[in-house]
Structure 1
Amino acid sequence: MSTSPELDVHEELSGAAIGRLHIVLGILITLITLFDGYDTFNPAYVIHYVAKPWGLSPSQAGFLVSSGLFGAIGHGAVADRLGRRGTLLVGLWVVNVFTLLTATIGNDFWSFCALRFATGLGLGVLLPLGTTFVNELAPRRVSNAFSLWGVTLGWSLGGVFAGLVGVYLTPHYGWQILYYLGALSIPLTLVAHAVLPESPQFLAVRRRTGELRALLGRLRPERAALYRDAAFVSADAASMPNPVAALLSPRYRRVSLTIWITAFLSLFAIFGLTGWIPTVMQKRGESFAASFGFGALMQAMSFVGGLTLAMLADRKMALTPRYLATWWLIGGIAVLALVFVSGHGVNLAIVAVAGFCIIGAQHVLNNFTAGSYETLLRASGVGMELGVGRVGAILGPYVIGLLQQATGGPDVLFWAIGGAAIVGAFAIGSLGLATVPRHATVDGAPAE
């Protein structure tokens, strides 16, 4: 009597070769995160045009940047229960609608901030779920590099394009052009509706076997015949834990808390720096174009730094926390150096190092987080990391605005950013080899 083979979805995905569907989905997630990065960073280029007409203090200018960063906490639990695909598509439509409204009716400080707040509820979905999608699809041997190409490239390019639009188009068409161009995400959302499948590991957890067989057959066509009669190992969906309680259970507590502290400090540094760098560089004597160009430079270098770190992490995953600590330590020291040295060449070099190290490391932290939890908790784990981190992102531009208002000079920016990066380095570096969680299969058993 023959029996159907029982297959582990995690192992099937981890052992796959990069195929056509991997590439298509990687490109789609790249484009989604491109609009996320673009929309996240473009308020830094609005400040120049609205600060005087709207009579903004430095703290209000910082809040203008921060207002679009609310969101992210809670959607991970929704995605783990209701599905990655639907949650991601809803997030895209929220961004589409409120981006257009920002361009058309965000004509004063409070209306702009209110619309940015609503946009942020959608933006908070895109990067965490993009990271979760890519992490679950990626073959194990290239998981970090695949995530960098599938998520970070888009997010970094979005930041670069925001800088280029700020430099070349806003002087002619006003700051509103940033948001009219951001609405080009609408046709991309229609493509996502047609192309984006549900996460295979979520299908396994929910025992949607027919859909899972079809999707695995597309991802691994050489094994499609085997999948037609196979049963799949999956966790009992009814046993899904309370996500936050599970993340703080003895199994995950130290890793979760360390990741949250590190993400808070990292995103405080990243958004404090990117939100204020055009304005601060103008105060240091840089031209308008050069000051706006620093933001694009940081985003471009962040991809190079993240990719370099990802390749190191793929070679020795257990050392990922130590690599992350090294990146943030170097970046923090470089930013602190701006307190003591100046000049166009020095500014360029240090901003490039900051993008390479501080922002680049955050991308790998996202993927490290996704790989630290089993399937049932993965979206919640990444969502909580970026949710807690987003609190730091919200506070970064606002607190640095307050500090500049109190001190009357830009040097406090470099003290705050450099210090946050260095403390974050020590936090993540405290995770020894024995405390780094191993990847888990869909049934929670550790995989090699």
Structure 2
Amino acid sequence: MSTPIGPWAGTRHRNSVLWVIALATLALLFDGYDLVVYGTILPILMADPTQLGHITAQDAGALGSYALIGVGIGALATGAIGDYLGRRKMMLISITWFSTGMATTALVNSVGAFGALRLITGIGMGGLIVTVGALVAEFAPPGRKNLFNAIVYGGFAVGGVIASVLALILRDTIGWRGLFWIGALPLVVLLPLAIVKLPESPRWLIAHGNTERAHRISRSTGIPSPTVDELAAERDTIEKNGYAALLTRKYIGGTALLGLTVFACLLLIFGLNTWLPKIMENAGYNASKSLSFLIVLNGGAVVGALLASRFADRHGPQRIIAGMFGMAAISLVVLTLPLPLPVLLVAVALAGAGTTGTQVVIWGFVANYYMTTARAAGVAWCAGFGRLGGIFGPFIGGLILGAGLSNNVAFYIFSAVALAGMALTLLVPRTRNIAGHGITTGTKTARSRVPAHD
């Protein structure tokens, strides 16, 4: 038996979990890069018909939505099969899928092919988003779940920053195709590491009757296995698994509200990431300054997510998420005012914290809201239904700009959506549920130590 170290069962436990967190973070970093890079190349594609063909503002909004349609499909499909295939297999499949999609997209020469491949690539991205939520919930120790969740999903925002910075530095040199080739790097860098270093979840294995393999992984990695009694107690709270569990009295209300909350947040995220550079160009800022707004937006998301996660671990995520939505609503209204550039950049950073940063905390809230055998389905439902909001975000921006309306109209609409997200969050009912190694009661997590089998 390893000597306990704080929340860790031993050194091997800590090292193994940190490898899982690092791999999941890198995967979502590229996921974020792949989705945000479209917004950075959009001005080029719209200005130069020789790239793919003539693209109107409405066309651009539709193209931005195709990847998100794919994400929704991938998330829902993963919810149906992820709880049966396992966390490790779904992670490897998702990395391979979206990396191959990015590489193939770099080769296309028409608007139709570009849109089709964005949709296909999004399927792998959706699988990844669902899988990493389950990984963090089942591997992170009590008292660190929201922090590690913020680190992992913060990788998405870091990827957005990297996409913006690389576009600023390299867009004129390597073109949009080169930026997409960068998005394919996980196939040769991340996938081999994940094959070697990513274990299957002992909790998932025991929940599916493979106790011997779970204990074998626990002995080799130091990762604690839950006891059969613990999982039996979890199953006793509800008889159905997967999507069927989401329709039970215990979960149906919270599931509907969480889905709508994610819908609102993703509408904000993808509406802003797709159209912020173009809106700022229309407001008179040059291309470099317009991309700087996108960098600040995603940078604010990273910092905001990390700070909010620490408060979520201490005070529960529900009120923290609601407060961040409120901050986003105020910040978006500030962007309509004739203020100095430094003040506007601060408002953009706070908007990033209140949108992408908020979604990071929401994923942790969702993953720990459900029991082990319904976790992937719960995250998948929220990711799949929520992606409809991500689809509408770019589409709404395209309609507003295509109709020649003021830039301020877009910010007012986004602010109203943020207020709706705040209200929806506060309405989510609490549910007592065993998650990972602790007991989650809506907004509180009580610690319990599970012995490692080594």
TM-score, normalised to structure 1's length?
0.88
* CA pair 183-264 structure 1, distance change in 2 beyond 3 A: same
Which residue is equivalent to 1:31?
26
1:16, CA displacement in angstroms?
Answer: 3.9
Secondary structure of the structure 1 residue equivalent to 2:176: coil
CA distance in 1, matches of 2:20, 2:104: 29
Aligned residues of 2:269 and 2:356 also touching (Cα < 8 A): yes
Deviations 1:391-428 (CA, angstroms, capped at 9, x unpaired): 10011101221122224332222022111111111111
Which residue is equivalent to 2:102?
99
* CA pair 444-328 structure 1, distance change in 2 beyond 3 A: closer
1:240, CA displacement in angstroms?
Answer: 7.1
Q: Which segment is superposed worse, 372-381 or 80-89?
A: 80-89
Aligned residues of 2:369 and 2:440 also touching (Cα < 8 A): no
Letter aligned with residue 416 of structure 1: I
Which residue is equivalent to 2:197?
195
CA distance in 2, matches of 1:190, 1:33: 16
Which residue is equivalent to 2:180?
179
Which residue is equivalent to 2:346?
349
Q: Which segment is superposed worse, 199-208 or 210-219?
A: 210-219
Letter aligned with residue 334 of structure 1: S
Aligned residues of 2:32 and 2:158 also touching (Cα < 8 A): yes
CA distance in 2, matches of 1:282, 1:443: 49
Which residue is equivalent to 1:266?
265
Which residue is equivalent to 2:434?
440
Which residue is equivalent to 1:138?
140
Aligned residues of 2:301 and 2:357 also touching (Cα < 8 A): yes
Number of residue pairs aligned between Structure 1 and Structure 2: 423
Secondary structure of the structure 2 residue equivalent to 1:372: coil
Which residue is equivalent to 2:452?
none
CA distance in 1, matches of 2:435, 2:156: 28
Which residue is equivalent to 2:110?
108
TM-score, normalised to structure 2's length?
0.87
CA distance in 2, matches of 1:442, 1:420: 32
Aligned residues of 1:134 and 1:147 also touching (Cα < 8 A): yes
Which residue is equivalent to 2:290?
291
Letter aligned with residue 296 of structure 1: I
The answer for unaligned runs of 5 or more in structure 1 is 1-12
Letter aligned with residue 418 of structure 2: A
1:367, CA displacement in angstroms?
Answer: 0.3
CA distance in 2, matches of 1:31, 1:73: 22
1:335, CA displacement in angstroms?
Answer: 0.2
CA distance in 2, matches of 1:444, 1:307: 21
The answer for unaligned runs of 5 or more in structure 2 is 1-5, 447-454
User: Identity over aligned residues, as a percent?
Assistant: 30
Among residues 208, 212, 215, which one is paired with 2:217 in the alignment? 215
Which residue is equivalent to 2:89?
86
Aligned residues of 1:298 and 1:354 also touching (Cα < 8 A): yes
Which residue is equivalent to 1:157?
158
Deviations 1:105-148 (CA, angstroms, capped at 9, x unpaired): 2x221111111011001011112211210111111111101211
Moved over 6 A (4+): 442-447
Which residue is equivalent to 1:246?
245
Which residue is equivalent to 1:9?
none
Letter aligned with residue 206 of structure 1: H
Task: State whether structure 2 residue 120 is matched by structure 1 residue 118.
Answer: yes
Aligned residues of 2:39 and 2:273 also touching (Cα < 8 A): yes
Deviations 1:49-91 (CA, angstroms, capped at 9, x unpaired): 1113132221111112111112322212210122121122111
